[in-house]
Structure 1
Amino acid sequence: MALWAPGAGAQTQTTASNSAETQKSGEIYKTLYLTGTTKDSGAVDVVTDLRNMLPNARLYYVPSQNAISMRGSAEDLQLAQKILADTDRKPKTYRLTYTITEMDGGQQTGTRHVALVVVSGGKTVFKQGNKVPIVTGVLNEGSSNPNSQVQYLDVGLNIDAALEESPDGLKLRSKIEQSRVAEEKSAAGLPDPVVRQTTLEGTSTLTQGKPVVLGSIDIPETTRRQQIEIVSEPVL
């Protein structure tokens, strides 16, 4: 016959509670500071990586300090430090030199160089030219004091460069726009100028120090042609 001992259930509950306290006391708290990445350059991705790899640890990202408050086991802390050593790295910076070579009848007539500094994972925009006024409307037309509404159009050379690192090399997304005001006027008889524009846009894989031809552009109504190539190098 089974005998019931008073207080046995309470003893079991106390033992379980002591076990939980022992497990909790085995956790370690540590503040991990990020040195390579920031809130705007991948810190959130690093924290997400830690949370996925350490589901039993507690993690909280403090943007103002660029730090991670962590509580977990010694094994979790050791793995977190290893993950940060592999992922918390400052993005590399590269210099991209665009060379625009103009040809006329097979002869080189001019060369232009534009150098941009781009951070991996970022974008740099270059603009050089003039602002051309365009009349879009007239207020109080017919009165003695009409007011013209004017907008300005950027004319010249625009380059957008976005760069990312990949296992195959540097992945570059480029957009190059060249525009100029034509000599002829609008067929509608308006004072607005005619603007001729050429755009070259695409994605290329770069190898450091090796020139890559992005494309060749024929200039309308002339015998001239422009070839655009690019070369990348790390900024130390």
Structure 2
Amino acid sequence: QDYKTQKITVELNDVTLREALNTVALQTKTFWSVVSSNTILVAADTTSKRKEMENTVMKTFYLKNVSAPSELQEAATTLKSILDVNRIQLIPNQNALILRGTTDQMVLAQKLITDLDKPKPEVVIDIAILQVSRARLRTLGVSPPTSANVVMVPGTSTGNGGTGGSPNGSFTINSLRNLTANNFQVSIPGASLSYLMSDSDTKLIQNPEIRALDNEKATLKIGDRVPIATGSFGAAGGLGGVSALVNTQFQYLDVGVNIDITPRVHAEGEVTLKMTLEVSSVSGTQNIGGISQPVIGQRRIEHETRLRDGEVNLVGGILEDTESNSLSGYPWLTRIPILKYLFGQEAKDRRENEIIFAITPHIIRAQEVTDDNLRLVDLGRGSSVSVGHTDPRDGATSKGLMDQSAANKGQGRTQGQRTTAPNASPSRSVEAPKTPAQMPVPTATATPVRPATASLQQSNPAVPAAAPPANAPPPRPVVQADISPPPRASLQAENFAMRPQPHEEDIPPVHPASQAQSSPAAASADKTSVRAVKRPAAAPASTEQCPTGTHLVGTENGVINCSFD
């Protein structure tokens, strides 16, 4: 009701019906919508009008490769931002999305879900851990005594001036005059000779495998869980000491081999690995607050690298080499070569420890990207979504009747050969085929448009027109738009044809070129000229059902007389 008609002049060459309607709608700032098989509705292109007049459908999409509700929410967010769809409902327990919108939005939503709902790439990571330890100890020499003990032993007094002492066995001042060697006892510790050498080798090889999904963290722990006491400490009676733990609690620490890896699969068989490798062990104990606490020795690597499939990478070789020398004996004498082993002892201790990590990724499931995923999709102009429909049936053409130009419809077909009709619109229910008497005839006020087909005599003048049956209705002319020659542009007649109106008088056909020569005023007209053109009688309608099940089947030079979808 609020739409105002206007006159425009356009020139279209070798375009489809859909392209022609879109061009006219773009020039007039309108949009068109299919109402029925032979009727379209045109309105002003506004947001309110589109919401009011566009047909909406509902569809449920089931995602096959969703493993967490967050992934389902991410897919819903993507559809909302791309399609501008507000009516969307998530069903997490079934991994489903329910959408309501236009048919074009549903088609694009199906493509997006097909592109995104793919199984995640998967990687198997071989980890080789080599730990080699070697300890060599040598002890050579004499361990001499380093101390002596002298004790005075009291003697017994004799008449001839021998050693004397008090009767109770103690020394007196007078007895000091009679001291002899027998009154002293010296004790010297014994010396020890050491000639010892030890050499030990230890090799530890671990080869675990981790299978992880793309961008998912995988953890491997091999070893023990050591308890560690935790709590608060307090002073013991103000003496500065440390009391026992108050409210003692224990937590467990993983000791051994701990591996955390997060893979990221790229194209062309490459993988990025973000990993944390740790090798730890209990190296000793320490008394804290009266409780023996373990001392943990740790070797840790945090690394990120990008590798090809099957490429081996040495993440890091941790080499620890400890050497200690000790010398004990008499001063200066231990510096004499060779003789130093008689007056002292020398000990050498050397320990070597090496750890090597070898990482090898193997891609067992790569990222699936097909040509359909990379194909561009034409969404029309503006904020509205408009996607061209295709026929999914085997052998069908890639374009519907609205997307086929009149110039190429007769190519590659012989007389009587049938072309494939388009599918019915997904927004309408499929109706039963109608007989010729049941087919609706559009009125003059409507704008029914369908692809024009060349008549039998125009495409092949040597073939006469088929005679209508006795009970067939009289032939009816078709109102056909004419085109004026340059320089004034007008709408071409080959792309459009209105349905014939009943009981109209036959009018001789007028060719566009002859009309331009006989009517020069038509070139200066501001609107498209319309002339009635007589079309030869069509062949009788066939009783065969249309492939789509919604249109009447009739042959004109082998073309199905079906209206567009």
TM interval, short-chain normalised: 0.7 to 0.9
**1:138 Cα deviation (Å)?**
10
Change in Cα spacing, 1:41 to 1:119, as seen in structure 2 (3 Å) is: farther
Comparing 94-103 with 81-90, greater Cα deviation is found at: 94-103
**In structure 2, which of residues 117, 120, 130 is the aligned counterpart of residue 101 of structure 1?**
130
Q: Distance in 1 between matches of 2:311 and 2:203?
A: 24
SS in structure 1 of the partner of residue 209 of structure 2: strand
- Can you list the C-alpha shifts for 1:141-196, whole angstroms capped at 9, x where unaligned? 9xxxxx9754433211111111223457322211111111114x438796222211
Change in Cα spacing, 1:54 to 1:102, as seen in structure 2 (3 Å) is: same
Q: Distance in 1 between matches of 2:129 and 2:51?
A: 70
What is the one-letter code of the residue matched to 2:354?
R
Q: Tell me, yes or no, if structure 1 residue 162 matches structure 2 residue 192.
A: no
**1:81 Cα deviation (Å)?**
1.0
The corresponding residue for 1:4 is none
Q: Distance in 1 between matches of 2:231 and 2:100?
A: 64
The corresponding residue for 2:188 is none
Contact conserved, 1:135 with 1:192, CA < 8 A, in 2? Answer: yes
What is the one-letter code of the residue matched to 2:88?
L
Q: Distance in 2 between matches of 1:45 and 1:82?
A: 16
Change in Cα spacing, 1:134 to 1:53, as seen in structure 2 (3 Å) is: closer
Contact conserved, 1:138 with 1:149, CA < 8 A, in 2? Answer: no
The corresponding residue for 1:233 is 362
**1:85 Cα deviation (Å)?**
1.2
The corresponding residue for 1:223 is 352
Q: Distance in 2 between matches of 1:56 and 1:86?
A: 18
**In structure 2, which of residues 208, 216, 219 is the aligned counterpart of residue 122 of structure 1?**
216
The corresponding residue for 1:48 is 77
Q: How does 1:1-236 map to 2 (within 5 A)?
A: 23-24=53-54, 26-40=55-69, 42-56=71-85, 58-103=87-132, 109-136=203-230, 149-167=249-267, 169-183=270-284, 185-186=285-286, 191-219=292-320, 221=322, 222-235=351-364
The corresponding residue for 2:388 is none
Change in Cα spacing, 1:150 to 1:69, as seen in structure 2 (3 Å) is: closer
SS in structure 1 of the partner of residue 114 of structure 2: helix
Change in Cα spacing, 1:54 to 1:223, as seen in structure 2 (3 Å) is: same
TM-score by length of 1: 0.75
What is the one-letter code of the residue matched to 1:227?
I
What is the one-letter code of the residue matched to 2:219?
V
- Can you list the C-alpha shifts for 1:61-108, whole angstroms capped at 9, x where unaligned? 221221111112221111111111111112122211111123568x99
Unaligned segments of structure 2, at least 5 residues:
4-42, 135-200, 237-246, 323-350, 366-565
TM-score by length of 2: 0.34
Percent identical across equivalent pairs? Answer: 27
What is the one-letter code of the residue matched to 2:297?
R
Q: Distance in 2 between matches of 1:209 and 1:46?
A: 33
SS in structure 2 of the partner of residue 223 of structure 1: strand
Change in Cα spacing, 1:182 to 1:103, as seen in structure 2 (3 Å) is: closer
Contact conserved, 2:85 with 2:100, CA < 8 A, in 1? Answer: no
Contact conserved, 2:219 with 2:261, CA < 8 A, in 1? Answer: yes
SS in structure 2 of the partner of residue 64 of structure 1: helix
Comparing 191-200 with 49-58, greater Cα deviation is found at: 49-58
Contact conserved, 2:229 with 2:251, CA < 8 A, in 1? Answer: yes
What is the one-letter code of the residue matched to 2:58?
Y
Q: Distance in 2 between matches of 1:164 and 1:34?
A: 22
Q: Distance in 2 between matches of 1:51 and 1:138?
A: 54
Q: Distance in 2 between matches of 1:154 and 1:121?
A: 24
SS in structure 2 of the partner of residue 77 of structure 1: helix
Contact conserved, 2:287 with 2:293, CA < 8 A, in 1? Answer: no
Q: Distance in 2 between matches of 1:109 and 1:231?
A: 21
SS in structure 2 of the partner of residue 174 of structure 1: strand
Name the larger-Rg structure: 2
Change in Cα spacing, 1:228 to 1:136, as seen in structure 2 (3 Å) is: same
Unaligned segments of structure 1, at least 5 residues:
1-10, 142-146
Q: Distance in 2 between matches of 1:132 and 1:227?
A: 24
- Greater fraction of residues in strand: 1
